[in-house]
Chains A and B, each alone.
Chain A
Amino acid sequence: MRWLLSSALVLVWSAAAAAKSFTGNRLLVVLEEQSEREKYSVFLEDLTSRGFTTKVESPKADKLSLFRHGERAFDHVLLLPAKSKGLGPAFTANNILEFLKLEGNVLVALSSESATPTAVQSALLELDISIPADKGAVVVDHFNFDSSSASEKHDVLLLQRPGALRSDVKNYFGGEGYIAVPRAVGQILGNDSPLLSPILRAPSTAYSYSPKDEAEAVEDPFAAGEQLSLISTLQANNAARLMVLGSAEVLQNKWFSENAKISGKSIKTANREFAQQLSAWTFKETGVLKVGKVVHYQDEGKSKKMNTSLAIPENNPTIYRVKSDVHFQVEISEYSNDHLTPFVPSPNDNIQLEFSMLSPFQRLNLSPIAQTTNSTIFGVAFKTPDQHGIFNFRINYRRPFFTNIDEKRQVTVRHFAHDEWPRSWQISGAWVWIGGIWVTVAGWLAFVAVWLYSAPTERSVKKTQ
């Protein structure tokens, strides 16, 4: 009976855990006017079906707070554009940043049709993301626009799904089809921050301007070309994620599967899948790396199978000798929507192990040596350096769109013990001097023998003198 109950509990628990984000499923959707909820209904339903418990609230609702008892009250926040310029006391810039510090994830959707709240604007400025200050600034492109809905204004951009940011970075947002980015607010990313990475850049023919300027030609655009980012991300060092989505309409039902026309060609937008990819990444359903067991051991010639069971704790040696052979293995999984999968780095990329004391003495590429259902086991063998001290096995792996890995295991590296040096006769170079000693000893023995034997002769010599 008890067994039945516990297995039923496990079943329920696993069903609940089957589809949700890696860090939690409490999602707060901030929407000022509840009437606008209909516009996002498909997106919100998709989120619910993926296991999020969504709570749609007006930013000025009573008792709404991102925190409770010093912990975050929600795991994820989706900020949809609001009509008013203020967001109320629950969403000050400070609160948003504090929420990121507590590893909450934020998806900020902007729209050129409503002013960006000051709190959001200054929070983004804090993170080195700048957006145009004036209300209504919009990204237009006279080459990549939807001619069926924006034949005049050219402010509905039709863009191909983005490719990988770099050749060594995994692309979570790619796929077939065009996405419609209507009335977007472009962003400029600061050059100094390594935490920022754009997902979707504007095409080189796009520019951002404010339509309120009544001039014939745009004289001073906010930014132009690929320096404009339409969707940009920030992943903080604590792996909290923030996504700035230039156009909230990307998430609206209207554009999820709309017929559009680009340069005479009729297409269907793929916004629904793209919105799912964007939210999945921001709310940590994808791109989360998890380090399992770290094993290192002295290579004594016999092979050692890694015990990946989490029930058995890591039982690694704490001390090694200089110039000894050491094996290192680490288990890394990638979280993919609802389960852990073996992590496969991009072909141009390597996870590296550092064996360091202040600075690395060894920096080695880890190669995959085995795969379990949930993880890849990476390993490398090397020789400890000829330097004793306190060393770290360290894996520091930071890539855009992946959570950071920074694992350390500290060990002592000692020098040779006095009986670990090779004996003299094992070194052929020493044979000459070993010979020297023993020839001296043998000569001495012969001398002593002859000396003792010749004792009487000495007396006779003495007598003769």
Chain B
Amino acid sequence: MPPKQRTPAATGAPSTPSSTPARSSKPSSNNAQDILQGIWNKYVDRTPQRVKLLDTFLAFLVVVGALQFFYVVLVGNFPFNAFLSGFSATVGQFVLTASLRIQTNPENKAEFENISHERAFADFVLGSLLLHFFCVNFIN
């Protein structure tokens, strides 16, 4: 998860500001933009590509879910089952994806030693297919 990574990065950055050449080129300052920039750079550097892919998908799901939620607040929930179905498809997909991220993140390797990435991905695919099946059925 980004916070976990952020902690060592954030603590590392102020303690040894001159040790990293990339950051030393800029004048060290504590303003918010720099901190955020630092976090972003660390994330880009340190995160494995598949976890980035997972994060992108999660962000996409958050956007889709938020759109649906704003729509129901603004316009109304007339076919309520349709709203439940659409919104829970997005939320459910988010949950499943987050689970996959936890299981395949190299940082959590110690905890999920006996679950291979292939196994986790297969679970994820099966769960997602079931979720889509139920949602499409529920919306009628």
Contact = CB atoms under 8 A, between A and B. Distances in A.
Interface of A: 421, 423-424, 427, 429-430, 432-437, 439-441, 443-444, 447-448, 450-451, 454, 457-458, 461-462, 465
Interface in B52-108: 53, 57, 60-61, 64-65, 67-68, 71, 75-76, 78-79, 82-83, 85-87, 89-90, 93, 97, 106
Q: Which one of B49, B65, B82, B135 has the highest number of Cβ atoms from chain A below 10 Å of its Cβ?
A: B82
A434 B107 CA distance: 37
B53 A450 contact: yes
Contacts of A433: 68, 79, 82-83, 85-87, 139
**Interface majority SS (helix, strand, loop, mixed), chain B:** helix
Given A436-B86, A458-B48, A461-B49, A448 B139 contact: no
Given A424-B82, A443-B93, 12 more contacts: A421-B140, A430-B78, A433-B79, A433-B139, A440-B89, A440-B90, A441-B132, A443-B61, A444-B132, A458-B48, A461-B49, A465-B106
B57 A447 contact: yes
Contacts of A436: 64-65, 67-68, 86-87, 89-90
A462 B46 CA distance: 11
Given A435-B86, A436-B87, A440-B64, A451 B139 contact: no
A435 B135 CA distance: 12
B115 interface: no
A319 to B, nearest CB: 24
A339 B96 CA distance: 82
A165 to B, nearest CB: 54
Contact of B50 (A424, A441, A451, A465): A451
B79 to A, nearest CB: 4
A461 B82 contact: no
Interface of B: 48-50, 53, 57, 60-61, 64-65, 67-68, 71, 75-76, 78-79, 82-83, 85-87, 89-90, 93, 97, 106, 117, 121, 125, 128, 132, 135-136, 139-140
Nearest to A446: B57
A444 B82 contact: no
A454 B125 CA distance: 16
Contacts of A437: 85-86, 89, 132, 135-136, 139
Given A441-B132, A444-B93, A444-B128, A432 B49 contact: no
B27 to A, nearest CB: 30
B135 A432 contact: no
A150 to B, nearest CB: 82
B50 A434 contact: no
8 contacts: A427-B78, A433-B79, A436-B87, A440-B132, A441-B89, A447-B53, A451-B121, A454-B53
A73 B139 CA distance: 72
A322 B85 CA distance: 26
A454 B49 CA distance: 8
Contacts of A432: 68, 71, 75, 86
A440 B106 contact: no
A214 B68 CA distance: 99
Q: Which one of B60, B64, B132, B140 has the highest number of Cβ atoms from chain A below 10 Å of its Cβ?
A: B140
Contacts of B65: 436
Contact of B48 (A440, A447, A448, A462): A462
Contacts of A444: 57, 93, 128, 132
